[in-house]
Amino acid sequence: MCGISTNYLEYLNLSHNLLTGFEKEPALFQWARIRILDLRSNRLHGSLPLPPSSTFSYLISRNKLVGEVSALLCKLSALETLDLSFNNLSGSLPHCLGNLSYSLSLLDLRRNNFNGSIPSTWRTGCRLRMISIGYNQLQVPRSLAKCSSLELIDFGNNLIIDRYPSWLRNLQDLRILILRSNGFYGVIDKPQAKGFSNLRVIDLSHNSFTGKLSSIHFEIWDAMKVINASQMTYMGDSMEPNERYPAGAYYGRYDYSMILYSKGLELEYAKIPDILTAIDFSYNKFEGEIPDIIGNLQSFICLTFPATF
């Protein structure tokens, strides 16, 4: 490849092409110092290629990959970003995936056919900041409570039947929470004093939540009370230039993304503006009155409540 020695190539970006595979499948292992491997938006098929152990950003979403994820993926002990979304991968996830607690910060598994449970081996000190598992058949372990730095959680459109995850109330950095279209039920726990103060998007629609909505929930959502459109910024991996991400380098950049619904339309945000705010509590079993304090949430753009209010 352009005469570059296999001992020196560190950043490889082949995203947004029409590539279908590799001439020699083990070829990736020849690049002994690969750090960032970006193969997004191609036509790669077959099983998931395994990058070298030196890789810390592996992006291979929007391809045509099939089959199960090999446990050999867990040998990438420095892995920080893993994006397998929008493929046809299936089966259960390797149990050892949770062993990457101290390195993995971004995990995107959306739009595949995974089943079973997210590995339950997340440890105290977990660095995970984003987890998106929407449109699979996955269950969620309570050990994710150890990932106290989470900023985006998307569990939408799975087969989760459980009470409201009480551990969510301790997440002070959480900005986006999507539990849409599952079998969650029961009363929503009151957040902690500082929990949810940074929340900007919450979608609890199409579940079986019950009870009254306390004004405490809306009082603590401070981020929805502020309008600041002076500069358009986006939620994502806000990396400072360092030895891994040189100044001005695009390689490995990862923007948070999500899907919201409005008036029956699916709205996909490939990048999420910091000014976007949304509340969707539709299709549940909430009762009582809508708290007056909701008028203090000046910046929200989308607000959907169930017709039973």
pLDDT tens for each residue of 92-106: 999 999 889 999 999
Predicted confidence (pLDDT) at residue 292 exceeds the cutoff of 70 = no
Q: Between β-strands 176-178 and 152-154, what pairing exists: parallel, antiparallel or unpaired?
A: parallel
Residue 129 half-sphere exposure toward CB, CA atoms < 13 A: 14
More confident residue, 221 or 20: 20
Predicted confidence (pLDDT) at residue 71 exceeds the cutoff of 70 = yes
User: Which structure tokens are listed for 185?
Assistant: 């039920």
Percent of all residues in the chain with a pLDDT value above 70, rounded to a whole number:
82
pLDDT for position 304: 58
More confident residue, 67 or 32: 67
Categorize the per-residue pLDDT at 263 as very low, low, confident or very high, splitting at 50, 70 and 90: confident
Cα four-point dihedral sign 217, 220, 223, 226:
positive
pTM score:
0.88
For the chain, which domains are there? 1-150 (3.80.10.10), 164-236+273-309 (3.80.10)
pLDDT for position 275: 83
Residues forming a β-bridge with 114: 91
Categorize the per-residue pLDDT at 1 as very low, low, confident or very high, splitting at 50, 70 and 90: very low
Categorize the per-residue pLDDT at 115 as very low, low, confident or very high, splitting at 50, 70 and 90: very high
pLDDT for position 234: 85
pLDDT-wise least confident of 29-38, 191-200, 265-274? 191-200
Q: What is the mean pLDDT of the chain?
A: 84
- Range from 52-56, 195-199, 250-254, 259-263 that averages highest in pLDDT: 52-56
Predicted confidence (pLDDT) at residue 57 exceeds the cutoff of 90 = yes
More confident residue, 72 or 7: 72
Torsion of CA 143, 147, 151, 156, to 10 degrees: -10
Categorize the per-residue pLDDT at 239 as very low, low, confident or very high, splitting at 50, 70 and 90: very low
Percent of all residues in the chain with a pLDDT value above 90, rounded to a whole number:
47
More confident residue, 182 or 266: 182
Quote the CA–CA distance of 172 and 196 in Å, as a whole number. 6
pLDDT for position 150: 95
